[in-house]
Structure 1
Amino acid sequence: SLTEKLVSVLPKMKCPHRLEPHQIQGLDFIHIFPVIQWLVKRAIETREEMGDYVRAYSISQFQKTHSLPEDEEFLQRKDKAVRAVLDVLEVYKPQRRYRRQRDAGELLDEESRVHSTLLEYGRRYGFSKQSKQDKVEEKKTQAAAPPPGMMEVSEEDDLQAAEEMRIKSLMTNMAAMENEEGKLTVRVGQSEEIKQIASEYAEKQSELSSEERSERYGPLQQHRRAVASLTKQIQHKTKQLEELQVKHSEVKTRSDDAKRKLMEATEQSESLMKELQSLEEMEEQADSRCV
């Protein structure tokens, strides 16, 4: 039965808890619960261990027959990128400029062979590295050596001079490649054509500049400039005149108001004087009657 099969499988899975078929049939939860708890824990551990492997396997199986839009776009970009990289490598690949002559002697040490190979492709190697014997001799002579700054400068100068002599000696055994010679002749011819074109351009430029100067400083141009300056002055003066007219109208209105007020004041003063005279006459008459 099913319960017997379950009970027989548990020892094979190395379950620490024992269970009997009648306990499962009788729903003995006290003994069933530890087994269920161990099985759940074991399932989680197995899923964690095999999850990455199963996921990778499923992805590989999916990619065998299916592809996403991102994958197709990546493949298209990949082809273009690979072609571009190959084109760049083809354009900027090392070009051999010199070739060592056959009658030249064979180079014995490895460093000289490296120098020679780099010079064939137009590259210069840096200062030579000191050998172990040179370092030992340098340590022996440190006691009687000059100050460190002067010693470093002199060593660099000596190394540079020795390196230049070495490069010159290696270059004497080099022969230029035929392709490079052809390129040099073509470049020389092109440089002569460029010089001729530059001289013609300079002549044309000088002619144009002379024509521009004649037009710039001719009588017609001077007359035009004078007319333009006069028109600017006229516009400026008319603007000033308009401003003065506005100010004049304002001042005139103010003066008219002042005149009107003055007339009113004079009329009032005259009326007051008349009234004052009449009052004085009335006082005189009253005084004469009293007497």
Structure 2
Amino acid sequence: MPGKRWTRYWFALPTLVLLFLVFLFPLLYSLYVSFHYLQLGRPMVYVGWENFREALLEDSRFANSVRNNIIIALPTIGFEFLLGFLFALILNQNIRGKAIFTTLLVVPIMISPVMAGMTWRMLYGAKYGAINHILKGIGIADTSFDWFATGPRAILAIVLADVWHMTPFVMMILLAGLQAIPDELYEAARVDGASRRQAFFTITLPLLKLPILVAILMRFIDLSKLFGLIYVLTWGGPGGATETVSFTAYLVGFQYFRIGYASALSYLILIVVGFLSFLLVKLLYTGEENR
């Protein structure tokens, strides 16, 4: 019997070793490196908290990337929530072609961020892009429009691409929340003489509070490490106007080869993502307790 008990652990050992080599060891080693000055071709030197202090107190580029992250995240989440909520309300009704409509709406989320960025890169093309062609056709623009010529334009281009890509994600969360609301509540409201508007504000919105918070928080977590669209569409430009914290860490590590400092930046991002994830788990746990 003791031999059989250990057999399952022996079968799990290769997976555990692989998990350690692929995930845990790089994570711990990067933490170790973050407390050192490490640049390719030079010896590693222990500097303690210096990398973190530089990032938080001295590095204007990192501060700018944090600001850019917030500027991109706020309108993106706002538009994704409004459109996702609208589509969820529509799909929650008994309409013809509902399955086809749902499938078409969900397709963008199945595409990787890099592929989504490449798609929108072609759409934004100054000479042959479909968007400029449409704008010329309807008389809004008479010349080729460079979407990446200025910071505000580039930010708008990223926001539009991410809204197209991730609105279905928000929609699915809110749709699941809508479908979890019992029909009996709406029937009781109709019996009491409540209008559809009153039912929406007294039943739908209060019961959707948790799904709404979860959707918004998950999008904040995802946008706090925005990288793929930036890499493909703007490369952080023009003039660093779209450089996010994840992209800054990438440039520091793979362009300037400051491996220790890049590791410190990555751990600062990890701390923010971990805190937001903790809030998300706490929200979900509280929601389960209140049911």
Query: Per chain length, whose mean CA-contact separation is higher, i.e. which structure has more relative contact order (CA < 8 Å, sep 6+)?
Result: 2
Q: Between Structure 1 and Structure 2, which shows a larger proportion of helix residues?
A: 1
Q: Which has the larger radius of gyration?
A: 1
Q: What TM-score results when the alignment is normalised by the length of structure 2?
A: 0.19
Q: What TM-score results when the alignment is normalised by the length of structure 1?
A: 0.19
